A and B are shown apart, each in its own frame.
Chain A
C-alpha cells in the first residue's frame, strides 16, 4: 500500500517528460497558429478530465481497470478494450524510446550503433517492467527527487540567461488570439495524462484521496509555458520551428561556467534519459498489466500468478520486438507523424475511458439497488 503522494509523482513524471518529447515540437510548430490558445483551453480540460477520472476511480478502491471492466462487462468486450488500451499506452513509450534512441545517437553516442543502444534500453525497461507496482513507484520517486531539482535549475538558467529574448516571447504572445486546434489541444493535454497510469496502480493505493488540485494546475501550466517559451526565447520566435528537438537545442545554448562539464546539454541528457526510461518502464508495466488482464489473468491468486509471470515474458518480448522492428524503418518525419497520431488518438481514448468508467459506476450502482 502506498500513500497519496505517488499519484502526484505519476503526474509529475508525465509533466516533466512533456518538456522534451514531441509535445513542445507540436506546440512550437503551431506557435503562430493557436498554440497558446490551445494551452489556455487545455488547462481546464485537462484538469477536469483528471478530476473526473480520479473521482470515478475512487469508487473502486484497490481495483485496477481489468477488475473493474470484468465486473461490469461481458468477458470478450472487456478483453478487447483492455488489450486495446494496453497497446495504446504501450505505444506512447514506443515513441519515447525511439525518439530517445534518436537523440542518443545524435548527441551522445554517434559511434555506437542505435540498435545496440536500443537493446540496452529494452533490456532495462523490460526487466524493470516486471517488478511489482510498488517497487516501480519507489524507483520513480527516487529518480524524480534526483532529477527535478536539476530540471528546475536548468529552467531557471534558461530564463535568466542574458541571451534569452523576451521580445521573441512577447512576439509569440501577440499571436495568442488565434483559434485553438484539436492537434495542439491533444498535445497540450498530454501533460495531464499521468493519471491514466492509475488504471493499474490504483490496486496498491490505500484510501486514495485527491487533494491540492491547484498544485496540479500550477505545475501543468508552468511546464506547458516553459516547454513552449524556453525554446522560443533562446532560439527565436522564427528560429524555434527549425529545430528537431527544440528543448535540446535550447539547453545546448546554456553554458556552465564553473564546473568540470561545460555544456549543460549533457546533464540535461542524463536527466532526461533516466526520466524517459522510468516513463517507459511505467508505461510497459501498465500496458502489460492491461493486456494480461484482458486475457483474463488475475493477480490475486497464487497459482495464476505463476502462470501470469510466464506469459508476462512473452508480452514483454513482443513489446521489445515491436520497438525493434519499428525503429528499423522509422525516420524522424514518420516519428513526428506517429506522435501526432498517437496524441490525437490518446485524447479521444481518454474521453472514452472516462465514459466507460461512468458506465461502470452506473452499472454497479444499479446492481446494488
Chain B
C-alpha cells in the first residue's frame, strides 16, 4: 500500500515535469483579431483578399487611445492567409475575440459558403459573430475608425448588436443564424450591409437578401425598416404620414407582426400578416390641439399606409423568389406530407397573395396634447 502510494506520487511528480512543455502563452503575447474582412482579389480570380483588424491595447486604459492594426493578405484560402499573416506580426494571433466577419460586396455576390463554413467549423471562432456585407469592400469598411470608438473595431459590434445604437435600419443577426438559414429548407439568409460612407462614419441601413450562398438583392433603407418590422419584435422606429398636408410622425413603442398561411383553396393561397403597433405621437406640424378623433384619423391613415408599403415590400421579396422570413419553413412545419411539401411550397409561394392588416394604436401624444 505504502509502496504503491509512493509510486503513484512519484509518477504524478514526473508527469508534472512534462507539463510546462505545453503552450503557455500570456495574454500580452497574443494579438486579438477582432474583425475579418473578405474581398475578391482584383488581380487573380482564384485569390481572396483577407483583411484582419487587430486590437493593440495600450498601457493606459484611461487615455482612450486604443490603436488598431489592419493587415491585408491575398491568399487562396483563409487558413493559408492566417499562416502568412502570422509571419507579419510579432505575437500569436488569437481569434477568440473575433466578433465580426465582413464579406465585401463583390465577394458576397459570388459565394460566401466556403468562408462561412470555416467560421463555423474552426474551434476558436464563436458562433456569436456578426456577419455583414461590406460596401464597397471589406477592407474599406475595416479602415474606417469612427472617433467615438474606444476599443478597436468595437463600433461595428456595438452597432450590429443590441448593446449600442437602436436603429430600425439595422438587421441583427449572428453567424449561427446565418449558418442555420444557409442550410434550412424554406428559410433564406439575410445580412446587414455596412457601408463606409465617409472617412469616420459607417452607415448600416440596408439588408442584403441571400439565396443559399450569394447576395441576390440589397434592399433600400425604407424597405429594410419594414422588413425589420416583420423580423423583430418591439422595433423602435418612426412612421410619418400626411393628413391635409400636415405632417405627423409617430414613434413606435411596441410592434408585433404575425402571419399565417392560408391554403384552403388551391390556387388562392394567401399569406396573411397581422401587425400591431403601439406608438407615441412625436412630431406634428399642425399647431392646434389634437382631439381624440384626430388621433383616430391618424391611426387609420398610418395603418393603411404602412399596410400598403409592407405589402409592396413583401411582393418585391416574393418576386426575387427568396424567402428571408421563413414562410416555407412555417409551411413545412404545419404540413405533415413531408415528402412533397417543399415542392408544393415552391409552386404556392410563387402565386401566393399577401394580405397585410396593420393596427396602429397611438397611446399618448407625449408631454403635450
Interface residues, chain A, with chain B CB atoms under 8 Å away: 32, 106-107, 110-113, 116, 119, 123, 162-163, 165-171, 173-175, 177, 234-239, 242, 249, 252-253, 255, 257, 262-263, 309-310, 313
Contacts and interface: CB of A to CB of B under 8 A. Distances in A.
Interface residues of B, number: 40
A213 B4 CA distance: 46
B1 to A, nearest CB: 6
Contacts of B18: 116
B179 A174 contact: no
Contacts, number: 101
A242 B183 contact: yes
Given A238-B183, A263-B126, 15 more contacts: A119-B15, A162-B232, A162-B233, A165-B184, A165-B329, A168-B180, A174-B334, A174-B338, A177-B336, A236-B180, A237-B329, A239-B179, A239-B183, A252-B176, A253-B127
A315 to B, nearest CB: 13
Contacts of B333: 166-171, 173-174
In the A-B complex, the 4 residue pairs with the smallest Cβ-Cβ separation, listed nearest first, are: A170-B333, A236-B180, A111-B23, A171-B333
B177 A163 contact: yes
A170 B22 CA distance: 47
Nearest to B185: A238
A111 B338 contact: no
A235 B186 CA distance: 14
A236 B181 contact: yes
A249 B127 contact: yes
B184 A168 contact: yes
B124 interface: yes
Interface residue SS majority, chain B? loop
Contacts of A107: 123
B186 to A, nearest CB: 8
B163 interface: yes
B123 A106 contact: yes
B19 interface: yes
B116 to A, nearest CB: 12
Interface string B7-22: 0000010010011001
B62 interface: no
17 contacts: A106-B123, A111-B23, A112-B22, A113-B22, A116-B19, A162-B232, A163-B174, A163-B177, A165-B326, A166-B333, A235-B179, A236-B187, A239-B179, A252-B127, A253-B127, A309-B1, A310-B1
A310 B24 CA distance: 38
A242 B187 CA distance: 17
Contacts of A253: 127-128, 174, 176-177
A363 B326 CA distance: 63
